[in-house]
Structure 1
Amino acid sequence: MAVSDASYDRDSYHRRRKSVTRPDPRLDSAMDIARRVGNADFDWDAFDSAAYFEHNYGTLRGDDERIIEIVADFFHSDRRTWGARAIDVGAGANLYPALTMLPFAGEVILFERAFTNREWLQDQIKKPCPSWWQFWSHMNAGRSAYKPIKDPFDLLSRRAKVEKGNIFSLKPGQYDMGTMFFVAESITTRNDEFVRATQSFVNSLVPRGSFAAAFMRDSSGYRVGGRSFPACSVDERDVRQALDPVATDVRIQTVESKDLRDGYCGMIVATGHKRT
């Protein structure tokens, strides 16, 4: 579903940004999180994209280096024909999942629910932050499919399209390849919604479509810009159980983090293909 023109009204955007930088104390307590457990119970349009980016992607961390290696190696070895239709579900304030698909994709849909994240993505596509070059340099090291791309951000600006959408309403069988990083377990405290979101992502691919998904392990929730957001605590077994009905060739790897933030115990990366 395309983003409406109204979604990019500048005055509206800055009013929202002002509200983001003045956290509502009613949203900060653990009790409030416990009461509002479902995805629909949170104001995702209040997500502080700039704060999230600075905290997580202002510089390339060791855990993201390992995730890049896993995902880029998977897509590189998959030998997909160039021109795939790709999607990054819940793109958020993060460009590197889309960059891992760039050598193979004729089109990359950055599918995102939050208004602030869509604005951030639009701005980053036009003028990316310098730190993304660190991610790209690690991505194309020793991988022939990535090497010919001299200006990945110019290419991304021409191939990427930001679309407004909800993960639970993705249409099935639309994309040849896809990524979903830290989304299904980070939008709800409910296990059934985690499973439904994960399967909705995989089902949006065509049969045998390639995917890479990353999850926070044993997450208990997180804070962005002074606001609390929900998480569903999952481990490798939970990820496999969610994927098994819809995916095949699934490989699950755990990524340790030497710079652990409060609220989670490392990361999980799953790669595979949509079932036929």
Structure 2
Amino acid sequence: MSLGSSGERAWLNAEAQWDAFDPVDYVRKNYRTVLPVDAEIMSIVRTHFSDHFRGLPGLRVRGVDVGAGANLYPTFTMLPWCDEITLLDRSTPNLHYLKQQFDRHDHGWDAFWRELCLDEAYAAMTGGPWKRFGEVAQVEQGDIFALVDRPGQWQIGTMFFVAESLSSSYEEFHEGVECFLRSLTPGAPFAAAFMEHSEGYWVGETPFPACDVSESDIRESIEGYAERLRIYRVGEPGEVRPGYTSMILACGFRRTGNS
């Protein structure tokens, strides 16, 4: 039996009402404007990716945003270097939202792109992100745990607020992190964001689970599969919503050994 933070039976990923997730409400509450914490995260990630690919001019890769949900800025961080980006999510409403962005995107995302354009790699994409997004992004319904069958498929990856927000199970948290990292090729750069000590969250009228993980839990889960790992504490407690202590951002590269 999988356990949660207080030793009780965990609320598992398969038991949550993912098809009741309301992406419009989620975006309205979380991404209507660029919060300082989002700007800080994007600044760190754009530098991490830009510094890596600056030494590899002309390289084009395949990327993945695992648990994309209704958040486009992780995908935006990968746009300058990708010939293909898979936006993976299991929730039917989230998939519909993502597909809508190809034809009639929410203009609020333009402000997030402008933050990324403080780096020349993004600013060089004249005309904004949408043409490139339409060319390289593909929306796919999928379960994070099924990535165990797709090892080494992508050469760059993001996973934002997913592993700790899919259930209250420590076992599933660690499994989710492992599945994400194993889906990347050795040496692939990645960025992953987490809510520390999250108490769970609501979207519209529906509650969703969270796993109460600390910074050390996050580091322990990642470091066996990563190298040159850097961990950042970003934002202020409760900046986005009540019920967490900090956001944790992990940037690194998929380990090139046997892990």
Tell me, yes or no, if the aligned pair for 2:10 and 2:169 is still in contact at 8 Å: no
Q: Note the 1:1-276 alignment, pairs <5 A.
A: 37-79=11-53, 80=56, 81-141=58-118, 143-150=119-126, 151-170=128-147, 171-257=150-236, 259-276=239-256
Render the CA deviation track for 1:216-265: whole Å, top value 9, x for unaligned: 11101000011100000112111110011111111000002373421111
Aligned partners of 1:127, 1:252: CA distance in 2, in Å? 36
Pairwise CA distance, 1:275? 1.0
- Aligned-partner residue type, residue 191 of structure 2: A
Pairwise CA distance, 1:126? 2.0
Pairwise CA distance, 1:202? 0.6
Pairwise CA distance, 1:84? 0.7
Aligned partners of 1:159, 1:254: CA distance in 2, in Å? 31
Structure 1: where are the runs of 5+ without partners?
Answer: 1-33
- Aligned-partner residue type, residue 44 of structure 2: I
Structure 2: where are the runs of 5+ without partners?
Answer: 1-7
Aligned partners of 2:30, 2:47: CA distance in 1, in Å? 22
SS of match in other structure, 1:215: strand
SS of match in other structure, 2:185: strand
TM-score, normalised to structure 2's length? 0.90
- Aligned-partner residue type, residue 234 of structure 2: V
Render the CA deviation track for 1:164-186: whole Å, top value 9, x for unaligned: 10000111110000000000000
Pairwise CA distance, 1:82? 3.4
Aligned partners of 1:236, 1:96: CA distance in 2, in Å? 23
- Aligned-partner residue type, residue 208 of structure 2: F
Aligned partners of 1:256, 1:147: CA distance in 2, in Å? 25
Aligned partners of 2:67, 2:41: CA distance in 1, in Å? 17
Tell me, yes or no, if the aligned pair for 1:185 and 1:233 is still in contact at 8 Å: yes
Tell me, yes or no, if the aligned pair for 1:247 and 1:272 is still in contact at 8 Å: yes
> Which residue is equivalent to 2:5?
none
Aligned partners of 1:209, 1:139: CA distance in 2, in Å? 20
Aligned partners of 1:215, 1:127: CA distance in 2, in Å? 29
Aligned partners of 1:126, 1:161: CA distance in 2, in Å? 13
Tell me, yes or no, if the aligned pair for 2:188 and 2:253 is still in contact at 8 Å: yes
> Which residue is equivalent to 2:3?
none
Aligned partners of 1:195, 1:35: CA distance in 2, in Å? 17
Tell me, yes or no, if the aligned pair for 1:185 and 1:234 is still in contact at 8 Å: yes
Aligned partners of 1:163, 1:147: CA distance in 2, in Å? 28
> Which residue is equivalent to 1:8?
none
- Please give the root-mean-square deviation of Cα atoms over the aligned residues, in Å: 1.3
Aligned partners of 2:227, 2:61: CA distance in 1, in Å? 20
SS of match in other structure, 1:110: strand
Aligned partners of 2:25, 2:220: CA distance in 1, in Å? 33
- Aligned-partner residue type, residue 116 of structure 1: P
For this pair of structures, how many residues does the alignment match?
242
- Aligned-partner residue type, residue 140 of structure 2: E
The 1:105–1:136 alpha-carbon spacing in structure 2 relative to 1, beyond 3 Å, is: same
Pairwise CA distance, 1:35? 6.4
Tell me, yes or no, if the aligned pair for 1:36 and 1:42 is still in contact at 8 Å: no
